[in-house]
C-alpha cells in the first residue's frame, strides 16, 4: 500500500517590502512521504518570496515534468518555474526553455555547495535562471516551525526574510549564487 501525502494547513501573511506586496494566503501544502520538514519549509519560504495570487504548488516530487511551484501568466504561458533542492542541469535547461523565469532554492549545506561547484559553469549560460542558497542553519530552523496547522508571518526586506509563528522567528539571509540576466 502506497503512503499518502501529509496535508498541512498554512495561514501565511506576507509583507514584502522589496516588491511592495502585502497579502494573506490560505494554503494547503501536501508533504510527499519522502519529503522532509526542512524541504517543505523551504518550499513555503519560496512561496513567500515570490507570493502572487497566481503562484501555485504543484505535484512536485510526485511529477517529473512539474516544478515545486509555478505561476502561469494571464495568456496561459508559464511565467515562473521554481525548484527546491538540487536539480539536474538538464532539468533546468528544459525549464528555462518552458518558462520566462526559473528560480532554484538550493539547500543542504555542503551538499548544496558541491552541487553548485559542479554545475555553476553549465548553468551560467541560462539567462533566465537564478539560483539562491538557503543556508543550512536557517533551513533547519525553519523545519522547527512545522505544525499540521500553521499561522506564519513573513517579512521580506533587502533580500532577507523573517518567517515566524508568533513564538519563534527565523531569519533567512539568502545567498545569491546566480541572478537572471537583465532583459533588454
List, for residues 129-164, the tens digit of each pLDDT value.
999 999 999 999 999 999 999 999 999 999 899 999
Asked whether residue 108 is domain-assigned, the answer is: yes
Integer Cα distance of 159 and 123 in angstroms = 22
pLDDT at 184: 43
Task: Count the domains in the chain.
Answer: 1
Asked whether residue 184 is domain-assigned, the answer is: no
Q: Using alpha carbons only, what angle is made at residue 139 by residues 123 and 14, rounded to the nearest 5 degrees?
A: 90
> Which CATH number is 131's domain given?
3.10.640.10
pTM for this prediction: 0.94
Asked whether residue 183 is domain-assigned, the answer is: no
Question: In terms of residue numbers, what domain contains 52?
Answer: 6-178
List the chain pLDDT tens, one digit each, 184 residues: 567 889 999 999 999 999 999 999 999 999 988 899 999 999 999 999 999 999 999 976 556 779 999 999 999 999 999 999 999 999 999 999 999 999 999 999 999 999 999 999 999 999 999 999 999 999 999 999 999 999 999 999 998 999 999 999 999 999 999 999 865 4
Amino acid at each position: 500500500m502506497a503512503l499518502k501525502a501529509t496535508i498541512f494547513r498554512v495561514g501565511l501573511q506576507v509583507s514584502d517590502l522589496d516588491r511592495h506586496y502585502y497579502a494573506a494566503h490560505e494554503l494547503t501544502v501536501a508533504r510527499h512521504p519522502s519529503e522532509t520538514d526542512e524541504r517543505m519549509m523551504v518550499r513555503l519560504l519560496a512561496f513567500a518570496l515570490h507570493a502572487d495570487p497566481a503562484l501555485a504548488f504543484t505535484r512536485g516530487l510526485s511529477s517529473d515534468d512539474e516544478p515545486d511551484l509555478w505561476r502561469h501568466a494571464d495568456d496561459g504561458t508559464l511565467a515562473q518555474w521554481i525548484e527546491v533542492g538540487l536539480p539536474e542541469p538538464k532539468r533546468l535547461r528544459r525549464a528555462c526553455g518552458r518558462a520566462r523565469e526559473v528560480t532554484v532554492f538550493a539547500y543542504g549545506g555542503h551538499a548544496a555547495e558541491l552541487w553548485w561547484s559542479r554545475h555553476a559553469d553549465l548553468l551560467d549560460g541560462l539567462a533566465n535562471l537564478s539560483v539562491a542558497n538557503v543556508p543550512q542553519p536557517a533551513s533547519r530552523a525553519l523545519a522547527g516551525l512545522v505544525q499540521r496547522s500553521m499561522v506564519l508571518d513573513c517579512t521580506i526586506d533587502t533580500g532577507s526574510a523573517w518567517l515566524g509563528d508568533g513564538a519563534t522567528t527565523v531569519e533567512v539571509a539568502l545567498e545569491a549564487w546566480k541572478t537572471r540576466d537583465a532583459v533588454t
